Amino acid sequence: MSPEPAATPRKQPKQERSQATVEAILTATTHILTENGYDQLTTNRVAERAGVSIGSLYQYFPNKKALIFALAEHHANEMVRLAQYHLEGLNNLTIPEVLRQIVKAAIAAHAVNPKLHRVLHEQIPHSEVMRRLDETKMENMLRSFLAQRSDQLQPKNLELTIFMVERTIRALLHGATIDRPELLNTGEFEQELMAMLSTYLVKR
Amino acid sequence: MSPEPAATPRKQPKQERSQATVEAILTATTHILTENGYDQLTTNRVAERAGVSIGSLYQYFPNKKALIFALAEHHANEMVRLAQYHLEGLNNLTIPEVLRQIVKAAIAAHAVNPKLHRVLHEQIPHSEVMRRLDETKMENMLRSFLAQRSDQLQPKNLELTIFMVERTIRALLHGATIDRPELLNTGEFEQELMAMLSTYLVKR
DNA sequence: TTACAATATGAATGATTGCTCACATTTTAT
DNA sequence: ATAAAATGTGAGCAATCATTCATATTGTAA
């Protein structure tokens, strides 16, 4: 990023002020999206709801797309962060055990802000970039887990397997979050999803 | 959300002439969407490309949303039609055999117009109604297939199973169509998807 | 205090675009 | 042939909305 002077970092009150502005803008965007939907999202309305002038908004976001992208990125990062937290220290587990943890992690990740998640995915025109936000990190995590256990794996083609498993988990969690939220409370859904992946992946 | 405007065609075309107009409009919409994308889709441009006046467009579609919905509906119907064609006379097959046919049917359905399918799903804000277009019929077909063979089924909860299988097939076909089109040529993808569902569903 | 930088303001603009409507043309029915 | 119905036309209205910019306020450093 910008070149840092090698001095003691000191809190810049200016920074705080503008930091608060940026946060207010992102929060307002979230609220308008979840409460009113994408077609009610105008930059002027965001500014108003954030208690900030429209000029300030354009001081931190060059345009509306950038604002939405920043929000989507933030949300994706939160989801990944939470998932990673659930996936620490899985080194000595078997494939079924790993899968159970991965499913649990995905469930937790989708609980970050389901309403926002829904709007982000079903109302907002997705750019190429945006579509890849969640995807890549999950694929990498899966790759490292599965590659370590390739001797226990039944399917031959690792990359295809990663693709299938990642998409399956994401689609089912996504679908449940949006259309069958009641499934997320019972352990049954978790159990069956894990079972499906498990019976497919493990050598018998 | 804002109150939805009527999505029903304004006028039922009686003469051949108007039938041709409607088709020209839908075709033009398809072309603009696939060649230029959703944010280039203006009603005036559609009319121009269709070789028809803007007034004529509004004679058959009350508003832009209705135009898009009509196109989405038409496309979904085509997909279902093609799928059903692949799914006739499966009465005496085993679950794995049925699954193979279902996967084949889904592949065929996604080949109807992949570019349009992509744009429809990733660039266009989806209404509640639109999201359900493909879903329901596929679920019903699955229900009838699986219910007939419940004695061979390993999972207990039929409705949950239908949900999982339908979403899994759709997500993987959708994902492959959009992000990994090369997978659709090899039989490997078909084989593995079938294998995953099969090992999960069938009693051992 | 003073000078400067960072941050905030919001009325105004400019461009886009969905959609209407008064009227013209073509087809059908009698 | 004539009326009525169906269909077609496109200039222009009206509203929306992203974005700008000239100006004001606030904080920092000397």
Using a CB-CB distance cutoff of 8 angstroms, which residues of chain A are in contact with residue B1?
36-37, 39-40
Which is it for the CA torsion A183, A69, A14, A31, positive or negative? negative
Statement to judge: residues A81 and A124 lie in one domain: yes
Q: What percentage of chain B carries pLDDT values higher than 70?
A: 93
Of B131, B157, B196, the CB nearest to A164: B196
Q: Which of B33, B62, B91 is the last residue of a domain?
A: B62
Q: How many domains does chain B have?
A: 2
pLDDT band at B4 (very low <50, low <70, confident <90, very high): very low
Residue B6 forms part of a structural domain:
no
Statement to judge: residues B81 and B54 lie in one domain: no
Statement to judge: residues B22 and B103 lie in one domain: no
Statement to judge: residues B93 and B45 lie in one domain: no
Q: Which of B62, B85, B119 is the last residue of a domain?
A: B62
B125 CB inside 7 Å of strand C: no
Statement to judge: residues A52 and A144 lie in one domain: no
Statement to judge: residues A31 and A48 lie in one domain: yes
Q: Protein contacts on strand D: list nucleotides below 7 Å from a Cβ.
A: 6-12, 16-22, 26-29
Statement to judge: residues A132 and A166 lie in one domain: yes
Task: Write the pLDDT tens digit of every residue in B180-196.
Answer: 999 999 999 999 999 99
pLDDT band at B8 (very low <50, low <70, confident <90, very high): very low
pLDDT band at A130 (very low <50, low <70, confident <90, very high): confident
Statement to judge: residues B28 and B107 lie in one domain: no
Average pLDDT over residues B56-66: 97
Which amino acid type is present at position A51? Answer: G
Domain holding A91, by residue range, is 68-201
Q: Which nucleotide is nearest to A58 (CA to C1')?
A: D19
Statement to judge: residues A25 and A104 lie in one domain: no
Residue B57 maps to which CATH number? 1.10.10.60
Burial of B27 (0-12, 13-18, 19+ CB in 10 A): middle
Q: Which nucleotide is nearest to A56 (CA to C1')?
A: C8
Per-residue confidence (pLDDT) for residue A7, from 0 to 100: 32
A14 CB inside 7 Å of strand C: yes
Residue B128 forms part of a structural domain:
yes
Residue A76 maps to which CATH number? 1.10.357
Q: Tell me if chain A has a CB within 8 Å of the CB of B96.
A: no
| Rounded to 5°, angle at Cα A44 from A42 and A50 | 105
Per-residue confidence (pLDDT) for residue A6, from 0 to 100: 31
DSSP string, chain B: -PPPPP-S-SS---SHHHHHHHHHHHHHHHHHHHHH-GGG--HHHHHHHHTS-HHHHHHH-SSHHHHHHHHHHHHHHHHHHHHHHHTSS-TT--HHHHHHHHHHHHHHHHTS-HHHHHHHHHTSPPPHHHHHHHHHHHHHHHHHHHHHTGGGB--S-HHHHHHHHHHHHHHHHHHHHHH-GGGGTSHHHHHHHHHHHHHHHB--
Interface with chain A: mutation pick from B40, B110, B158, B164, highest number of A CBs within 10 Å: B164
Q: Using the beta-carbon criterion (under 8 Å), do B196 and A196 form an inter-chain contact?
A: yes
Q: Beta partners for A202? A: A153
Statement to judge: residues A145 and A49 lie in one domain: no
Using a CB-CB distance cutoff of 8 angstroms, which residues of chain B are in contact with residue A175?
163, 167
Residue A139 forms part of a structural domain:
yes
Residue A3 forms part of a structural domain:
no
* Chain B residues 166-195 with CB within 8 Å of chain A: 167-168, 170-172, 175, 180, 183, 188-189, 192-193, 195
Q: What is the complex's ipTM, to 2 decimals?
A: 0.89
pLDDT band at B16 (very low <50, low <70, confident <90, very high): confident
Task: Write the pLDDT tens digit of every residue in B71-86.
Answer: 999 999 999 999 999 9
pLDDT band at B13 (very low <50, low <70, confident <90, very high): low
Per-residue confidence (pLDDT) for residue B11, from 0 to 100: 52
Q: Tell me if chain A has a CB within 8 Å of the CB of B129.
A: no
Q: Using the beta-carbon criterion (under 8 Å), do A160 and B193 form an inter-chain contact?
A: no
Q: Is pLDDT above 50 for A199? A: yes
Q: Is pLDDT above 80 for B35? A: yes
Tokens linked to A191: 């159990």
Residue A50 forms part of a structural domain:
yes
Q: What is the mean pLDDT of chain A?
A: 90
Task: Write the pLDDT tens digit of every residue in B86-141.
Answer: 999 888 899 999 999 999 999 999 999 999 999 999 999 887 778 778 888 899 99
Q: Tell me if chain A has a CB within 8 Å of the CB of B103.
A: no
Per-residue confidence (pLDDT) for residue A17, from 0 to 100: 85
Statement to judge: residues B50 and B84 lie in one domain: no
Coil, strand or helix at A57: helix
Instruction: Look up the protein residue whose alpha carbon has the minimum distance to the C1' of C26.
Output: B17
Q: Protein contacts on strand C: list nucleotides below 7 Å from a Cβ.
A: 6-12, 16-22, 26-28
Statement to judge: residues B41 and B110 lie in one domain: no
pLDDT band at A8 (very low <50, low <70, confident <90, very high): very low
Q: How far is A46 from chain B (nearest CA, A)?
A: 16
Per-residue confidence (pLDDT) for residue B9, from 0 to 100: 47
Q: Tell me if chain A has a CB within 8 Å of the CB of B94.
A: no
Residue A32 forms part of a structural domain:
yes
Best-predicted range by mean pLDDT among A127-141, A190-204, B125-139? A190-204
Query: Which chain B residues 29-48 have CB under 7 A to strand D?
Result: 44
Residue A5 forms part of a structural domain:
no
Residue A7 forms part of a structural domain:
no
